[in-house]
């Protein structure tokens, strides 16, 4: 038996602001796993880190921008997408990725999401869906499953949840996928694929929040929800997104659902500039 | 044929078009907007002009989106702006706060209309004087300019960009429906006669702390993609830009972002005076209302009353020291504004009780008739 070797440096250190570690996420949280998958993806692609920009909103997932060592913006609650739209349009050589949570992107920021998808702005959006407002103490959100117990739905949630890939697909996103933090290899491959595409790309990442969601819904440890994902997820690539709402007691459908080509807003606008200026 | 950025020559222009042309002449190459009366002509002018000069004009889904895109573009290195009216300005306030905290240069044109609420969309108002200063959350300082002619809309757009770039703070151009829709002669000077100020940039290849200020309290500003790999947050932060959620860090940053404006108030403040040399009654006004105030002072002088006019070209920071000194010499101030009393409180504060302060209010929907201001001057004489 060899003893575990303590390493002073991790292979991914060059991608992280190591002077900010340890991170703020709770034990059992899945956001760190997504961060790791994202870094694996940019490492695989050997992206130009000077041109990669990560934009986040507010919330637990919103803290991702602070840990990745690229130009990064921790913006206002819900406003990561329009901020990213401005960045990308103003400097089309940037590779702009929004990483934020379900409440941030789909509740307070919902209007920005649907219009950026409709316009086909050339940005990639990764939404960490932990079914809850985590940072503020576990209030229900736009993705909280029907009947789930939260701090603002103590008798069970009576609202219906968004089917995020369906929202993205109906609004015109050119790439739509849903994975969980259990499916790290597929999630990483999906991020690699989406990073290389143009237009509005969307990946939903289901992630456990044992601290304020799991413990009120019979999954008190992070591992409980990972086991739940293992037992209940079914991969169905290119399934019609209208059939993949997350409903209590039903299978969670994951996979890549949309992968189409469509002219990005930025390309159309820069073509317009060239035609107006006559070159 | 695509026209150049600076349309040197003599034009017949509305204030809304002039403010757009001034901004383009100042180097603005990014506009994000959402339609709202009575500011929409600013947006329409940008839609036409931005492709001509190689800039961007995008219609966003709402005002929060517009100003967020403006701030994103500013961090990508472009001079960026939006235009709106009172209701849209209200929606932008969270980003005013974010821009102040992250020290993001941007210009916001507010063509004021009768308010509150939906109010009088097509008619003038000056009800956003206080919103321009106190509309967002937190302690902060901001710059607000107030033109009273299309020519000044052009000139002040350039100044607004220059100040915003220099101090890394949002600059607001407080117009009103009258000034926005008024057509007058606008002289656009040759390009080389327009003074342009650009934000300080960090030196490439050297270590960069995004919030380490120089002696002037202003830090250099990198753009995304420059290779500095910096982090920006609306949380209270240290010089590295990292969150530092302590009272000490908060005190340090709030003091600096306020003091960089407060200590330079004398450089930013601008006003015009008329018949002030021996004045005993001073009318204080701005924007469209100040045009009636000019006439009121002339009428008062015809009646032998020693009246003068102080027209504010900058509203924030407020010229408090100047008004305090005037208060020691004059009998009264008459504050003419198109609201039910906003700037008047600021004048009262700065007059320290040493001169009477009388409000001449029109609620909105129209500006003052000169006689209405004259009545208040008469009241002050008594």
- DSSP letters, A153-171, are BTT---SPPP-HHHHHHHH
Distance from the Cα of B63 to chain A's closest Cα (Å) equals 10
> What gap in Å lies between CA B94 and CA B192, rounded to an integer?
37
Q: Which residues of B touch A75 (CB under 8 A)?
A: 68, 71, 98, 234
The interface pTM score, or ipTM, of the predicted complex is 0.97
Determine contact, residues A90/B28, Cβ cutoff 8 Å. Answer: no
Domain locations along chain B: 9-193, 271-381
Taking alpha carbons only, the member of B92, B112, B82, B115 closest to residue B174 is B112
CA distance B97 to B138: 7
Task: Give the integer Cα–Cα distance in Å for A234 and B184.
Answer: 68
A118 to chain B, closest Cα gap in Å:
11
> Which one of B2, B46, B61 makes the best mutation probe of the A interface by having the most chain A beta carbons within 10 Å?
B61
Q: Which residues of A touch B71 (CB under 8 A)?
A: 75, 83, 86
Minimum CA–CA partner of B50 in chain A: A273
Q: Does residue A94 belong to the interface with chain B, where contact is any CB pair within 8 Å?
A: yes
- Determine the pLDDT at residue B183: 98
Cβ-based burial of A202 (10 A; exposed 0-12, middle 13-18, buried ≥19): buried
Report the first-to-last Cα separation within chain A, whole angstroms.
69
User: Which B residues 234-263 touch A at CB under 8 Å?
Assistant: 234-235, 242-243
CA A36/CA A126 separation, integer angstroms? 13
Cβ neighbourhood burial of A261 (10 Å; 0-12, 13-18, 19+): exposed
Structure tokens at A126: 């990764």
Asked if A115's CB is within 8 angstroms of B61's CB, the reply is yes
Distance, in Å, from the CA atom of A75 to the CA atom of B101, rounded to the nearest integer, reads 11
Half-sphere exposure of B135 (CA within 13 A, CB side): 27
Measure the CA–CA gap between B89 and B112, rounded to whole angstroms. Answer: 9
For residue B236, the number of C-alpha atoms closer than 13 Å in the C-beta half-sphere is 15
Provide the domain limits for residue A159. 25-277
Rounded CA gap, B246 and B78, in Å? Answer: 33
List phi, psi (to 5°) of A193: -65, -45
CATH topology match: B9-193 vs B271-381: yes
Find the helix or strand (DSSP H, E) in which B121 lies: strand B120-124
> In this structure, how many other beta carbons lie within 10 angstroms of the beta carbon of residue B200?
14
**Residue at A18 is within a domain:** no
For residue B346, give Cα distances in angstroms to A109, B125, B320, B321, B333: 37, 18, 8, 12, 12
Q: B98 at the A interface (CB within 8 A)?
A: yes
How do beta strands B183-188 and B9-14 pair?
Answer: antiparallel
Residue A175 and residue A255: Cα distance in Å, rounded?
Answer: 11
* Number of domains comprising chain A: 1
- So what's the pLDDT on residue B28? 98
A178 touches chain B (CB under 8 A): no
B46 touches B33 (CB < 8 A): yes
Burial class (CB in 10 A: 0-12, 13-18, 19+), B248: exposed
CA distances from A51 to A95, B228, B310 (A): 6, 10, 50
Label residue B35 exposed, middle or buried (CB < 10 Å: 0-12, 13-18, 19+): exposed
- The closest of B363, B347, B362 to B283, measured between CA atoms, is B347
Within a domain: residue A2? no
Any domain includes A213:
yes
**CA-to-CA distance for B337 and B253, rounded, in angstroms?**
34
Q: Is residue A48 part of a domain?
A: yes
Separation CA B322–CA B330 (nearest Å): 12
CATH number, position A112: 3.40.50.970
C-alpha–C-alpha distance, residues B71 and A68, integer Å: 21
B61 contacts A112? CB cut-off 8 A:
yes
Task: Decide: B348 and B332 in contact? Cβ < 8 Å.
Answer: no
Nearest to B72 among A17, A83, A277 (CB): A83
* CATH T-level fold of B9-193: Rossmann fold (3.40.50)
In this complex, which of A72, A79, A269 lies closest to B231 when CB atoms are compared? A72
pLDDT in tens, B322-374: 999 999 999 999 999 999 999 999 999 999 999 999 999 999 999 999 999 99
Instruction: Evaluate whether B218 touches B212 at the Cβ level (below 8 Å).
Output: no
- Strand B143-145 with B314-316, pairing: antiparallel
Strand arrangement of the beta sheet that strand A95-101 belongs to: A233-235, A252-259, A175-180, A201-206, A124-129, A95-101, A52-56, A71-74, B231-233
Considering the domain B271-381 in this protein, what is its CATH number? 3.40.50.920
How high is the pLDDT of residue A42?
Answer: 97
Instruction: Name the residue facing B232 among A74, A112, A277 (closest C-beta).
Output: A74
| Nearest one of B200, B195, B198, B110 to B158, comparing CA atoms | B195
A-chain CB neighbours of B231 within 8 Å are 17, 65-66, 71-74
**Residue among B58, B229, B232 minimizing CB distance to A69:** B229
pLDDT by 10s per residue, chain A, length 279: 567 777 778 889 999 999 999 999 999 999 999 999 999 999 999 999 999 999 999 999 999 999 999 999 999 999 999 999 999 999 999 999 999 999 999 999 999 999 999 999 999 999 999 999 999 999 999 999 999 999 999 999 999 999 999 999 999 999 999 999 999 999 999 999 999 999 999 999 999 999 999 999 999 999 999 999 999 999 999 999 999 999 999 999 999 999 999 999 999 999 999 999 997
- Edge to edge, what strands does the sheet with B332-337 contain? B271-274, B307-312, B281-285, B332-337, B356-361
Give the position of tokens 């607000």.
B144
Helix (H) or strand (E) holding A99: strand A95-101
Give me the tens of pLDDT residue by residue for chain B, a chain 382 residues long: 799 999 999 999 999 999 999 999 999 999 999 999 999 999 999 999 999 999 999 999 999 999 999 999 999 999 999 999 999 999 999 999 999 999 999 999 999 999 999 999 999 999 999 999 999 999 999 999 999 999 999 999 999 999 999 999 999 999 999 999 999 999 999 999 999 999 999 999 899 999 999 999 999 999 999 999 999 999 999 999 999 999 999 999 999 999 999 999 999 999 999 999 999 999 999 999 999 999 999 999 999 999 999 999 999 999 999 999 999 999 999 999 999 999 999 999 999 999 999 999 999 999 999 999 999 999 999 8
């Amino acid at each position: 038996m060899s003893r575990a070797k303590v390493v002073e440096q991790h292979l991914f250190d060059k991608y992280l602001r190591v002077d900010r570690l340890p991170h703020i996420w709770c034990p059992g949280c899945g956001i760190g796993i997504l961060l790791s998958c994202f870094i694996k993806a940019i490492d695989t692609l050997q992206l130009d880190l000077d041109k990669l920009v990560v934009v986040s909103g507010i919330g637990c997932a919103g803290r991702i921008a602070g840990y990745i060592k690229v130009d990064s913006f921790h913006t206002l609650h819900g406003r990561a997408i329009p901020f990213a739209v401005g960045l990308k349009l103003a400097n089309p050589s940037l590779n702009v990725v929004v990483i934020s949570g379900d409440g941030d992107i789909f509740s307070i920021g919902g209007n920005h999401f649907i219009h950026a998808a409709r316009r086909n702005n050339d940005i990639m959006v990764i939404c960490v869906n932990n079914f809850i407002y985590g940072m503020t103490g576990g209030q229900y959100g736009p993705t909280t499953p029907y009947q789930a117990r939260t701090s603002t739905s103590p008798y069970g949630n009576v609202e219906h949840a968004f089917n995020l890939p369906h929202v993205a697909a109906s609004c015109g996103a050119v790439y739509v996928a849903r994975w969980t933090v259990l499916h790290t290899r597929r999630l990483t491959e999906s991020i690699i694929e989406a990073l290389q595409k143009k237009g509005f790309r969307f990946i939903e990442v289901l992630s456990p929040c044992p601290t304020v969601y799991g413990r009120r819904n019979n999954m008190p440890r992070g591992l409980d929800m990972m086991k739940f994902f293992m037992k209940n997820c079914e991969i169905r690539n290119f399934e019609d997104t209208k059939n993949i709402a997350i409903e209590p007691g039903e299978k969670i459908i994951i996979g890549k659902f949309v992968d189409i080509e469509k002219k990005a807003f930025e390309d159309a606008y820069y073509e317009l500039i060239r035609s107006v200026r006559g070159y | 044929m695509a026209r150049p950025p600076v349309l040197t020559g003599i034009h017949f222009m509305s204030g809304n078009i002039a403010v757009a042309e001034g901004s383009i002449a100042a180097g603005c190459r990014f506009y994000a907007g959402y339609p709202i009366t009575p500011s929409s002509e600013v947006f329409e002018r940008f839609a036409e002009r931005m492709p001509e000069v190689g800039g961007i004009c995008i219609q966003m889904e709402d005002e929060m989106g517009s100003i967020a895109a403006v701030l994103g573009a500013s961090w990508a290195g472009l001079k960026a702006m939006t235009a709106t009216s009172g209701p849209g300005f209200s929606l932008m306030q969270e980003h005013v706060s974010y821009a102040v905290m992250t020290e993001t240069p941007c210009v916001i044109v507010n063509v004021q209309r009768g308010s509150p609420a939906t109010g009088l969309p097509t008619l003038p108002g000056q009800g956003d004087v206080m919103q321009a200063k106190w509309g967002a959350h937190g302690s902060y300082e901001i710059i607000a300019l107030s033109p009273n002619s299309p020519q000044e809309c052009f000139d002040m757009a350039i100044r607004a960009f220059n100040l915003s770039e220099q101090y890394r703070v949002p600059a607001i151009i407080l117009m009103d429906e009258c000034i926005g829709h008024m057509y007058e002669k606008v002289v656009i000077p040759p390009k080389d006669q327009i003074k342009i100020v650009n934000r300080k940039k960090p030196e490439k290849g050297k270590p960069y702390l995004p919030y380490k200020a120089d002696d002037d309290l202003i830090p250099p500003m990198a753009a995304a993609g420059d290779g500095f790999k910096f982090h920006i947050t609306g949380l209270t932060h240290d010089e590295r830009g990292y969150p530092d959620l302590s009272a000490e860090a908060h005190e340090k940053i709030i003091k600096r972002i306020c003091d960089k404006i407060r200590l330079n108030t004398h450089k930013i403040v601008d006003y015009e005076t008329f018949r002030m040399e021996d004045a005993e009654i001073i009318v204080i006004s701005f924007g469209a209302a100040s045009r009636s105030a000019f006439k009121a002072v002339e009428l008062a002088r015809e009646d032998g009353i020693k009246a003068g006019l102080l027209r504010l070209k900058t509203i924030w920071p407020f010229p408090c020291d100047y008004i305090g000194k005037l208060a020691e010499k004059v009998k009264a101030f008459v504050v003419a504004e198109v609201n039910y009393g906003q700037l008047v409180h600021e004048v009262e504060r700065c007059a320290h009780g040493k001169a009477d302060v009388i409000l001449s209010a029109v609620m909105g929907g129209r500006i003052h008739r000169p006689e209405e201001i004259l009545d208040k001057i008469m009241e002050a004489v008594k």
